[in-house]
């Protein structure tokens, strides 16, 4: 093992952040030494600091508007605990449509992105073709291009395609993620060729080999990048905000943004809305923390 931790080692699919080893203690070091107590205190205070904003949003969302607007740091307002704000938000209907739009467009973006990236990555990794090296370099180089610098020509393009204010206009420009191709290529590079050769000798074509040998082997890495792509798509703001004007087509982040000013000073409703919007991913995270943490850490170094 080399003395330095290289990029390759970090985003190897084996790097499991959830498996924290407990052996950083010296042999003979006391279990409850002063250092450990200090570390624990530091950790607790940082965690409290980081949980506080969300906690405060939660507290506010269960107050009446009058209590929220009167300020103060009390956990339950003078008028007591209430779910009024949530009832008001949920009775307005649009939140459901936006959540549904976010869910299915993010799922479609994830499916398309991972599918086309895996196919391309396999070609770059295993198939030799004219210009392979240069095309791959071009794809990798494009990682440096900020998507924000492309919004003007992309929007213009969507105008000419008649895709402004459509789901396809929202989805299609989001499916090109060069870092995913890079990560998958690296994974395929590490898969022993012999496995595929056996199937090839049996007369299976490239596509057959890809689907019946390579893909099943790649399930963990595909899962990891899918989680990453889904989170990105679910939270994406700028492009959906530009391309969608129709209220019924909006995703959750964009929809919520438009009503923020409409509510103005209704603080507990705004916080109830924030809590509701945060809920889906937080619940999923509570159940699948291990997979999500691993997926993000594995994909993370590929770039954003």
Partner 1 sequence: MTDVMADRSAVGPDPEVTPGETRSGPRPAPPTQRQARRRGQLAAWAFLAPFMVAFVLFVIWPLIHGIYLSLTDQSLTGTGGSFIGLQNYSEALSDAVMWRSIGNTVWFTVITTVPLVLFALIMALLVNTGLPGQWLWRLSFFMPFLLASTVISQIWVWIFNPEIGAANEILSAVGLEPIAWLQTANVDLISIAIATIWWTVGFNFLLYLAALQNIPTLQYEAAAVDGAGPWRQLFSITLPQLGPVTGVILILQMLASLKLFDQAYQMMDGNSSESSRPIVQYIFEAGFVGYRFGYASAISYIFFVLILLVGITQMIVLRRRKEDS
CA dist., res. 304 & res. 302, Å (int): 7
Site for partner 1 in 179-238 (CB under 8 A): 181, 189, 192-193, 197, 205-207, 210, 231, 234-235, 237-238
**8-state DSSP, 174:** G
When the beta carbons of 100 and 145 are compared against partner 1, the nearer one is 145
Report, in this order, helix, strand and coil percent for the chain, each rounded to 5. 70, 0, 30
- Determine the longest span between alpha carbons in the chain, in angstroms: 77
Site for partner 1 in 9-48 (CB under 8 A): 9-11, 15-27, 29, 35-36, 39-40, 42-43, 46-47
Asked whether position 262 contacts partner 1 by CB under 8 A, the answer is: no
Kindly indicate which of the ranges 81-89, 103-111, 214-222, 283-291 contains the residues binding partner 1, using the contact rule CB under 8 A. Answer: 283-291
Asked whether position 150 contacts partner 1 by CB under 8 A, the answer is: yes
When the beta carbons of 82 and 274 are compared against partner 1, the nearer one is 274
CA dist., res. 105 & res. 110, Å (int): 8
Give me the least distance between CB of 238 and partner 1, in Å please. Answer: 6
Please tell me whether residue 191 adopts helix, strand or coil conformation: coil
Asked whether position 166 contacts partner 1 by CB under 8 A, the answer is: no
Name the residue with tokens 């008649």.
162
Burial of 298 from C-beta contacts in 10 A (0-12 / 13-18 / 19+): buried
Asked whether position 69 contacts partner 1 by CB under 8 A, the answer is: yes
Site for partner 1 in 102-141 (CB under 8 A): 115-117, 119-120, 122-135, 139
Name the residue with tokens 């450990």.
36
Asked whether position 99 contacts partner 1 by CB under 8 A, the answer is: no
When the beta carbons of 96 and 237 are compared against partner 1, the nearer one is 237
CA dist., res. 170 & res. 155, Å (int): 10
């Amino acid at each position: 093992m080399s003395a330095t931790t290289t990029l390759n080692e970090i985003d190897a699919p084996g790097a499991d952040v959830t498996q924290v080893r407990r052996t950083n203690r010296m042999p003979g070091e006391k279990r409850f030494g002063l250092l450990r107590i200090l570390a624990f205190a530091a950790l607790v205070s940082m965690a409290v600091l980081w949980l506080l904003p969300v906690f405060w949003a939660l507290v506010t969302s269960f107050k009446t508007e009058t209590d929220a607007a009167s300020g103060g740091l009390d956990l339950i307002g003078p008028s007591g605990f209430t779910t009024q704000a949530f009832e008001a938000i949920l009775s307005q209907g649009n939140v459901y449509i936006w959540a549904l739009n976010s869910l299915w467009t993010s799922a479609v973006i994830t499916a398309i992105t991972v599918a086309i990236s895996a196919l391309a990555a396999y070609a770059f990794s295993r198939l030799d073709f004219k210009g392979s090296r240069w095309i791959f370099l071009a794809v990798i180089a494009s990682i440096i291009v900020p998507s924000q610098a492309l919004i003007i020509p992309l929007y213009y393009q969507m105008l000419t395609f008649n895709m402004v204010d459509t789901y396809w206009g929202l989805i299609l420009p989001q499916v090109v993620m060069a870092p995913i191709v890079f990560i998958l290529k690296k994974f395929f590079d590490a898969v022993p060729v012999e496995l595929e050769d056996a199937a090839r000798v049996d007369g299976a074509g490239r596509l057959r080999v890809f689907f019946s040998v390579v893909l099943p082997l790649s399930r963990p890495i595909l899962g990891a990048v899918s989680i990453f792509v889904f989170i990105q798509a679910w939270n994406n703001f700028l492009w959906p905000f530009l391309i969608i004007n129709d209220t019924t087509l909006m995703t959750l982040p964009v929809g919520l943004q438009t009503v923020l000013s409409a509510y103005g000073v209704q603080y507990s409703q705004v916080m109830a809305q924030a809590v509701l919007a945060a809920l889906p991913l937080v619940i999923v995270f509570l159940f699948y923390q291990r997979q999500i943490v691993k997926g993000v850490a594995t994909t993370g170094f590929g770039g954003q």
